[in-house]
Amino acid sequence: MSTLFINGKEYEYTDEPNLLEVIRKAGIDVPTFCYSPELKPFGSCRMCVVEVEYPNGRVVVNSSCTMPPEPNVKVSTNTARVRRIRKTVLELLLANHDRECTTCDKSGQCDLQRYAEEYGIKEIKYAKLTEEDMKAIDDWNPSLKRDPNKCILCGACVRACQEFQGHAVLGFANRGSKTVVQPMNGKLLAEVDCVFCGQCQAVCPTGALTVKSNVEDAWDAVNDKSKKTVVQIAPSVRVAIGEMFGLKPGENTIGKIYAALRKIGFDLIFDTNFSADLTITEEATEFVERLTKGGLLPMFTSCCPAWVRYMETQHPDMLGHLSTCKSPQGMLSPVIKELLPKYHEGYTKENITVVSIMPCTAKKYEARRSQLRRDGKFETDIVMTTKELGRMIKEAGIDFKNLEPEHADSPFGEYTGAGTIFGASGGVAEAAARTAYYYVTGENIADADIKQMRGVDKSTRSKSVELDIKGTKVVVRVVSTLKEAEKAIQEIKNGTANFQLLEVMACPGGCVNGGGQPASCKDAKIKEERAEGLYTEDRELPIRRSHENPDIIRLYKEDLEKPGSHKAHELLHTTYSDMYTGSYKDLK
């Protein structure tokens, strides 16, 4: 433990990675655009500059996000010199920015807007962006919108893509004031191997990268009396949406979400947790079959659409490893359209519109996969992210915080603890293990908590867990981020892989930290609290194993015979295609 001085007061510090964290711990906020605790410090925006006086009298001005704390230095965070730099940086960025704030997707959550207000910028002194300077907006994909005119070139997206996904979809191009961030050769996101995880958008401090909104589509469907709107909510939405209404991260608000959706006017409300249970029964069945009958191993989970697209674009030769199970979203939509009319009067395959609420931007892309069509129509009609639902609730004027909790509808509303933990990295594998154990041994696993699979922080992005299924040893590898997934793939390719099941979630920590969630990049603890919310619900639910879900048992009894049946395959399984276009990774 050492000490240093911040604005004249002495503070202790221990293992903080940089001066900025020490300053923040002291309760002083230093502005920054490019710093994110999960990413390598870059030092590009120059907003977090501070004056540091060393014991030998030397004074430097440097970015606090890139400086290691050193004992006895005197740090000043608000001298005239650093304030002038910050103000000039803001003025320069604003001059070069499309300042149509009111119509910007990021309005109200934009760091540039916030600092401009906080620093009292009232005048744009420098040469302003003109019509001719405006660059084309890229929204030619279902998930993300890239507006270069809002980009401040902090490089957070570039680093997120590289450091999380080991991918380089976005990069810097050109020099000087012509520098831009863009996909290779200025292509569209849809033209390159972007997996649409949306992490770039999650770390973007401005409106340069945003989620493509489907809020209007959802309103149109709700207001269209000829349509029956059926909505499903993914596991991790319930522990994050409250943050948009002043609730704590991790607080389970599922009852309030059901109530809000009903108030908005959705006709029936189901829960994707239910189909997470369904996914487990199918996936565990598939895994046990591969394990016992000599199928292709290791088997890869297939719930994460970003991961699926990564496999299709980067490793099409290994698609056989992917479980053929659709994701929970992908399973519930056709189940609703095909089977719901049996249970509810007035509902037909044709008049149902399925809306899903996801923590994920890639789910929008998944819903448009050609394999997920039925009778010429998409099985999932509209996908909204957590953030979009939050906005819809606000627009509807609903006092979310004070809503009385309600329940989901029958017959696809019941779920188990296994379904709910799908939202955190390791949750799918844990849920699958609980059911696979039962399928192999006919008994339930003694302890439902397989804690070695849990953990969503930076240090637990890759976990290896050995399970003993009554003498049969199974090694499960749990990874989050595609960078870690790629390492696992390389192990398979070079013959050193020792695992039989690989769970992959593309976002760091899993869906709780998904690209569609409210911003969680500034505080690494948020995703941990959300995950804790899911594990708490799991602990508290009466049923914690997917195969014991009464709605699932009934579904198989009445409609799908048994897990892995022909009927189940017809509705719940899918295929993958080779989408290799010559990866830039081949470039030497």
Partner 1 sequence: MTTLSVNIQDEQKKAQENINAQGLRVLVCSGTGCIANGSLKVIEKFRELGANVSTLTAHDKMTIVPTGCHGFCEQGVLVLIPELDVTYVKVHVEDVEEIFDEHIVGGKPVERLLYVDPKTNEHVKKSEDINFYAKQTRTALANCGHINAESIDEAIAVHGYEALANVLKENNPDAVIQEVLDSGLKGRGGAGFPTGLKWKFTAANKGGKSYVVCNGDEGDPGAFMDRSVMEGDPHKLLEGMAIAAFAIGADEGYIYVRAEYPLAIKRLRKAIKDAEERNYLGKNILGTDFSFDLHIKEGAGAFVCGEESALLASIEGERGMPRPKPPFPANKGLFERPTLINNVETLANIPVILLKGAKWFASMGTESAKGTKTFALTGEVNNTGLIEVPMGTTLRKIVFDIGGGIRNGKKFKAVQIGGPSGGCLTEEHLDLPMDYDSLAKAGAMVGSGGLVVMNEDTCIVEVARFFMNFTQNESCGKCTPCREGTKNMLKILEKIVHGQGTMEDLDKLEELAVAVKDGSLCGLGKTAPNPVLSTLKYFRDEYIAHIKDKKCPAGVCAAMKTFTIKEDECKGCTKCARTCPVGAISGTVKNPHKIDQSKCIKCGSCMSACPFKAIKQS
How far apart are CB 91 and partner 1 at their closest, in Å?
Answer: 9
Reply yes or no: is the peptide bond before residue 405 cis, omega within 30 of 0.
no
33 or 535: whose CB is closer to partner 1? 33
155 or 563: whose CB is closer to partner 1? 155
9 or 588: whose CB is closer to partner 1? 588
Query: How many CA atoms lie within 13 Å of 5's alpha carbon, on the beta-carbon side?
Result: 12
Q: What are phi and psi of 383, to 5 degrees?
A: -120, 125
62 or 213: whose CB is closer to partner 1? 62
How far apart are CB 125 and partner 1 at their closest, in Å?
Answer: 6
How far apart are CB 208 and partner 1 at their closest, in Å?
Answer: 14
Name which of 519, 489, 511, 572 is nearest 204 in CA terms: 519
* Sites of contact with partner 1 (CB under 8 A): 41-46, 49, 61-63, 66-68, 81, 84-85, 88-89, 92-93, 95-96, 125-127, 152-153, 155, 171-172, 174-179
How far apart are CB 154 and partner 1 at their closest, in Å?
Answer: 9
125/38 Cα distance (integer angstroms): 35
* Token pair belonging to 30: 């230093």
For residue 369, the tally of other CB atoms under 10 A from its CB is 22
How far apart are CB 68 and partner 1 at their closest, in Å?
Answer: 6
Report whether 290 contacts 442 (CB < 8 A): no
49 or 555: whose CB is closer to partner 1? 49
Report whether 372 contacts 574 (CB < 8 A): yes
Name which of 203, 263, 256, 236 is nearest 35 in CA terms: 203
DSSP state of 586: G
Label residue 297 left, alpha or beta by phi (over 0 means left) and psi (-120 to 50 means alpha): beta
Contacts of 177 (CB under 8 A, 6+ apart): 96
How far apart are CB 491 and partner 1 at their closest, in Å?
Answer: 23
* Token pair belonging to 159: 């680093």
Contacts of 527 (CB under 8 A, 6+ apart): 249, 456, 457, 508, 509, 512, 513, 520
Q: What number of residues does the chain have? A: 588
How far apart are CB 250 and partner 1 at their closest, in Å?
Answer: 34
DSSP state of 207: T
Tell the burial category of 404 from Cβ atoms under 10 Å away from its Cβ (0-12, 13-18, 19+). exposed
82 or 568: whose CB is closer to partner 1? 82
User: One-letter amino acid identity for 534?
Assistant: L
* Token pair belonging to 20: 């900025």
How far apart are CB 171 and partner 1 at their closest, in Å?
Answer: 7
* Token pair belonging to 547: 């195969």
63 or 165: whose CB is closer to partner 1? 63
How far apart are CB 539 and partner 1 at their closest, in Å?
Answer: 43
Tell the burial category of 29 from Cβ atoms under 10 Å away from its Cβ (0-12, 13-18, 19+). exposed
79 or 536: whose CB is closer to partner 1? 79
68 or 376: whose CB is closer to partner 1? 68
How far apart are CB 504 and partner 1 at their closest, in Å?
Answer: 27
172 or 395: whose CB is closer to partner 1? 172
How far apart are CB 33 and partner 1 at their closest, in Å?
Answer: 9
49 or 431: whose CB is closer to partner 1? 49
Helix (H, G, I), strand (E, B) or coil at 372: helix
43 or 359: whose CB is closer to partner 1? 43
How far apart are CB 42 and partner 1 at their closest, in Å?
Answer: 7
* Token pair belonging to 270: 């189901």
Name which of 275, 274, 285 is nearest 563 in CA terms: 285
